[in-house]
Structure 1
Amino acid sequence: MTTTSTPIPAPRSSGGPTIVPTVSRNRRTTRGNTELYGWLFMRVSGVVLVALIFGHLFVNLVQGEGINAIDFGFVAGKWSSPFWQTWDLLMLWLAMIHGTNGVRTIINDYAERDGTRMVLKLALYTAFVVVVVLGTLVIFTFDPCPANSPADLLPSFCTA
């Protein structure tokens, strides 16, 4: 028994037979592998962020006296260690890049007009830069005992 194949008409066509063009498998797309790398980054950074966040929560809430112990002095003591500065910096940067990449994907999916997409991405990238720069500056320039400050405003661990 022999079978004959009939091409299925393309959607929104007149219903007649269509010729399907062959596409070379070696043809490069205009985006390259950018979306693939973004997809992979989201998976890897998500796993790393889960570990960083649970470590952060364990140290801040479980290991010590809980939420009541978190104050200016706690943060100052924690950020006096390069380990915790690096931990919090990595958490900030990964969370911001991860979130920005996710919102960028949403903008690409739902913003129909090119102008709207451009404005939304510009606002997104501006917010990303502002938060990352300010957060990095706070982590590395934080001084709990600034010079020439009134002694009554300094924490108890500072020597006036």
Structure 2
Amino acid sequence: MGKSCGECGMCCKLLAIQALDKPAGAWCGHFKRAAGCGVYADRPPACRGFICLWLDSEKLDDAWRPDRAKFLMYTEKDGQRLNVIVDPAQPGAWKREPYYRRIKAMSQRAVEGYELVVCIGDRRIVVFPHEDVDLGLVNPEHKLVSGYAQKNGTMVPYAMILSDVAPQAS
């Protein structure tokens, strides 16, 4: 039998929903702990189309249910990026076991061009197999890029933020 959200609702807290003017990190006014979404039949397309990785993966057991783990995961960029969205009230949740070891194992695909990004509010951390690159607070409008580059004959991980903002003349 498949998984169901049950009383979880972490996506209703952690994700921003523009159609509802709901910021990231704040509970949606339509979510009720025992009853779920109060506008489920008429929920916006962003809510209707969202499926967290816990629901979608047979490899993640109940310990990974977002309300238990205190983070949720989903892919974007055609599966090339795994986002780990951490509850700001529990910023270290992703570093606890059994999570951190498995997240590091998932980051092994970085050498194949995949990205694993931990988001704690506006803070971004790119996870590589042998290091975590904390980019600090990042404007969500700016583009994050990461991967490996060759330097002195060795593959070296990189992570950076690209901004479309032109420098101001002084």
TM range (shorter): under 0.3
TM-score by length of 1: 0.24
Of Structure 1 and Structure 2, the greater helix share is in: 1
Q: Which has the higher contact order (CA 8 A, sep 6+)?
A: 1
TM-score by length of 2: 0.23
Rg comparison, structure with higher value: 1
